[in-house]
């Protein structure tokens, strides 16, 4: 509850700052930024309510977001991907995959999409005798499932971990740690890059990504990780407050988690940027005012969620 209250407080402060910066701006700019602020509030409220309802509600919410992300991916690739039966297989696989999370069937979760669905999708093309564009069609369906369903759903898998793994915050604490750090990293890298960015990392993929933004964003994310770790994760050991941190082993795991999420988020964002550039589009959708589509919002989590889950799983299983 403390962290959720902190998120709302941060949104209030951010809203006041953003609105003050919009004074004197053009009407179109103000409308876009205000729309983005409203979207952030809606997203925060939805996740807060789901968190208060418990882990099952959160997993179902993640499943719905995953479905919307998969639908967006299949829509933006439809100009090259003309196989409705493959889309049907992908959509049918999604609820089965999330059922495994609710039932805590880890082995089924790990096998179903990477093995069974991975092998099943091309069989549909083979039996239909479709050889033209075979590689591209099979790859697009598989890649869409791996990104929007398999990768992203690891955030929900965190919620299925035993309570005793994290006495300070439970599975929801680990989930919030992942989501907060991923969003902080996205925002920090963008803001620092806008302010100090000079040296481009991969301008052909994302001209706004700079080394300055990346490094300062990583520093910001690690700092937030160190502050949050003792409050809602087991990463700080028996430390219960950031003020109790000693410059020793208590810093190692929070720092490693922060770096992992910062780097993963960076490449998750770049990965979706490469997809959009290949397709010749700016945003994956227009569902979220000022922020694009669902894919534009969860792109970093498709990388950070599996990376952070296995980081925690192999430490505390």
With H, G, I as helix, E, B as strand and everything else as coil, classify residue 299: coil
Residue 25 predicted with pLDDT over 90: no
Summarize the confidence of residues 294-303 as an average pLDDT: 91
Residue-wise pLDDT for 163-187, tens only, equals 889 887 888 889 989 998 998 898 8
Residue 265 predicted with pLDDT over 70: yes
CA 300 distance to own-chain centroid: 4
Phi, psi angles (nearest 5°) of residue 176: -65, -40
Residue 315 Cα distances to 30, 113, 142, 246, 262, angstroms: 46, 25, 30, 21, 19
pLDDT at 9: 63
Only one residue has tokens 């564009």, namely 133
Residue-wise pLDDT for 90-122, tens only, equals 899 999 999 999 999 999 999 999 999 999 988
CA distance 158 to 42: 23
CA distance 218 to 11: 21
pLDDT at 136: 83
Residue-wise pLDDT for 179-215, tens only, equals 989 988 988 898 899 889 889 999 999 888 999 999 9
Residue 22 predicted with pLDDT over 80: no
Only one residue has tokens 């099979």, namely 138
Residue 250 predicted with pLDDT over 90: no
Contact (CB, 8 A) for 213 and 190: yes
Mean pLDDT of the chain: 85
Residue 148 Cα distances to 5, 166, 172, angstroms: 29, 27, 21
pLDDT at 101: 96
Q: Which stretches within the chain are classed as H helix?
A: 2-21, 27-53, 55-76, 84-102, 106-111, 118-127, 134-145, 154-158, 170-196, 211-232, 249-279, 294-298, 301-316
Only one residue has tokens 């239909």, namely 128
Burial of 169 from C-beta contacts in 10 A (0-12 / 13-18 / 19+): buried
């Amino acid at each position: 509850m403390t962290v959720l209250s902190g998120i709302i407080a941060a949104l209030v402060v951010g809203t006041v700052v953003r609105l003050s910066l919009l004074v004197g701006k053009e009407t179109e700019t103000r409308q876009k930024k205000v729309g983005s602020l409203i979207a952030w509030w809606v997203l925060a409220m939805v996740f807060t309510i789901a968190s208060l309802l418990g882990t099952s509600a959160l997993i179902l919410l993640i499943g719905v977001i995953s479905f919307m992300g998969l639908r967006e991916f299949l829509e933006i690739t439809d100009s090259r991907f003309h196989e409705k039966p493959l889309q049907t297989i992908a959509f049918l696989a999604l609820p089965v995959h999330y059922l495994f999370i609710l039932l805590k069937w880890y082995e089924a979760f790990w096998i179903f999409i990477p093995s069974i669905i991975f092998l099943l999708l091309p069989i549909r093309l083979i039996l239909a005798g479709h050889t033209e564009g075979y590689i591209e069609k099979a790859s697009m369906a598989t890649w869409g499932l791996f990104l929007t369903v398999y990768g992203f759903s690891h955030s929900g898998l965190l919620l299925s971990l035993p309570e005793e793994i994290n006495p300070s915050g439970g599975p929801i604490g680990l989930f919030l740690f992942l989501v907060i750090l991923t969003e902080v990293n996205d925002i920090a890298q963008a803001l620092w890059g806008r302010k100090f960015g000079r040296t481009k990392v991969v301008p052909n993929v994302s001209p706004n990504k700079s080394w300055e933004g990346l490094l300062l964003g990583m520093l910001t994310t690690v700092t937030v990780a160190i502050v949050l770790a003792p409050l809602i994760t087991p990463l700080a050991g028996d430390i219960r407050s950031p003020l109790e941190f000693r410059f020793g082993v208590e810093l190692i795991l929070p720092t490693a988690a922060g770096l992992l999420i910062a780097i993963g988020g960076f490449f998750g964002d770049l990965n979706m940027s490469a997809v959009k550039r290949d397709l010749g589009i700016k945003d994956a959708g227009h569902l979220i005012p000022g922020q694009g589509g669902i894919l534009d919002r969860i792109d970093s989590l498709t990388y950070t969620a599996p990376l952070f889950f296995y980081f925690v799983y192999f430490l505390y299983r």
